[in-house]
Structure 1
Amino acid sequence: MRPIPASASGRPLSLPPAPRVLLGALAAWLALAPTQAPSAQEPASPPSQDVPRQDDGAPLGTEAMKELVVLAQSPDAAEAQRIRAIEVLALVTPPEATEHLAQLLRTPSLPPALRLTAMASLQRRVGVDALPALLPVLDDDNPQVRAPTARAIGRMGGATARGALEQRLAQEEQPEVREALQQALSDVEP
């Protein structure tokens, strides 16, 4: 079995046996990350069936969340592992994970694939309640993030989504983003 990952400070975690086994299993699962990251033009596909679920055993708690956030933000980690860490953040029990996902989405220094995975994970975690976190991303500097965000907002629907998409369409200059905005507006239920 692989050793338990070090904490953010670099020291081994001092945990009772049950959480230690859970974190060890989580670390081993993260090592099996897919070999290819999703493209920046489309959001990450819905997490695969091999993503651990809360009902697969003990819920992932605060310690796991902290380790996942550290891995997701680590520029030294492989992008595929960072993506898997972000996907798993959708499944941890602490409510703070929602804000961590929103923060990852809003971090312009992260690669688009990571930000889009954070968007998909946030939607998976809270559903349409993710809309307030997605709306400001329509004004992001990166068109590779704006276009998929527009499509996601369009799928969420509602009057707020329609208004934000219409407002952004009036300002948008990038053809691929304008197309995504128009498509999103056609998806919004009146």
Structure 2
Amino acid sequence: MTTSLPSRSGAVASRLRRRWMPGVLGAALLLAGSGVMARMNTRATVEPPSAPGTDALPSSELRARVLALLDASQAGAREEAWRRLGPDAAPVLTALAVDRETPVARRALALTSLAMVDPAGGAGSIREVLEDARAPADVRASAAVALGRCLGLEAIPALLNRLRDREDRVREAVAVTLGRLGGQQVRQALEDRLPLEERPLVREALQRGLTLVEP
């Protein structure tokens, strides 16, 4: 006699809030403004179609799909495409993010994408990039946004430490990301840092962060 196993169904609660989409897009716009995106040799791509799953894909095919989606992300690929790819893409994205031979803009996009496909598992790698003084400023700025997305309020201590980072771009990204996380601790830190900051663009980012802090 065959016994049917009970189905295990249930909706997985989304860890991502809509307020993070402007942050992810903002990181890409920052890169574009610095001229990094323009220096990449990119091609126009169409968002790859969804597939039944990635666990059975050969590593070479999975990498090809990740690279195609990264190219599509520069043209506005939707977040749902990364979610369909799933956590199996995390090792490929992590390797790209830390590879010094990979173009800076692609490394930055790999970090924001890693936060989408595997926020829990990718947080450690993202934090390492943020704290790596040898990594390019644009990559570390992207890591700041990605870390806030992955950890939420738990990212605040690590981000507060970077308000005095030597790179202007990193301080800008950190200020805005902290503002999105909000809270009295964040408000106080941004207010304390504002009179000490000498760079106009970073001062603007601090003020923007303060406007984002929820009362």
Residue 201 of structure 2: aligned partner: 176
Gaps of 5+ in 2: 1-53
Does the 8 Å contact 1:104/1:118 carry over to 2?
yes
Which letter maps to 1:127? Answer: G
Which letter maps to 1:137? Answer: R
Residue 71 of structure 2 is aligned to residue 34 of structure 1: yes
Spell out, residue by residue over 1:106-146, the C-alpha distance to the aligned partner (whole angstroms, 9 max, x if none).
22222222122222222222233322221111110011211
Which letter maps to 1:30? Answer: V
Residues 1:80 and 1:184: Cα distance change in structure 2 (over 3 Å): closer
Residues 1:36 and 1:60: Cα distance change in structure 2 (over 3 Å): closer
Distance in 2 (CA, whole Å) between partners of 1:24 and 1:48 is: 23
Give the Å deviation of 1:98.
1.0
TM-score of the pair, normalised by structure 2: 0.62
Gaps of 5+ in 1: 1-17, 38-45
- Superposition pairs for residues 16-55 of structure 1, below 5 Å? 19=55, 21=57, 23-32=59-68, 33-34=70-71, 48-49=78-79, 51-53=81-83
Give the Å deviation of 1:147.
1.6
Distance in 1 (CA, whole Å) between partners of 2:188 and 2:174 is: 14
Distance in 2 (CA, whole Å) between partners of 1:176 and 1:82 is: 23
Give the Å deviation of 1:100.
1.1
Residues 1:128 and 1:47: Cα distance change in structure 2 (over 3 Å): farther
Residue 87 of structure 2: aligned partner: 60
Does the 8 Å contact 2:120/2:150 carry over to 1?
no
Distance in 2 (CA, whole Å) between partners of 1:74 and 1:149 is: 23
User: Identity, % of aligned pairs?
Assistant: 34
Residues 1:25 and 1:127: Cα distance change in structure 2 (over 3 Å): farther
Residue 158 of structure 1: aligned partner: 183
Spell out, residue by residue over 1:26-61, the C-alpha distance to the aligned partner (whole angstroms, 9 max, x if none).
311232233897xxxxxxxx97336421xx26x425
Counterpart pick for 1:105 among 130, 149, 159? 130
Residue 212 of structure 2: aligned partner: 187
Distance in 2 (CA, whole Å) between partners of 1:49 and 1:96 is: 18
Residues 1:188 and 1:101: Cα distance change in structure 2 (over 3 Å): same
TM-score of the pair, normalised by structure 1: 0.69
The structure with the greater share of residues assigned to helix is 2
Give the Å deviation of 1:158.
0.6
Which letter maps to 1:31? Answer: L
Residues 1:119 and 1:22: Cα distance change in structure 2 (over 3 Å): farther
Determine which structure has more spread, i.e. the larger CA radius of gyration: 2
Does the 8 Å contact 1:90/1:122 carry over to 2?
yes
- Superposition pairs for residues 139-154 of structure 1, below 5 Å? 139-154=164-179
Does the 8 Å contact 1:47/1:87 carry over to 2?
no
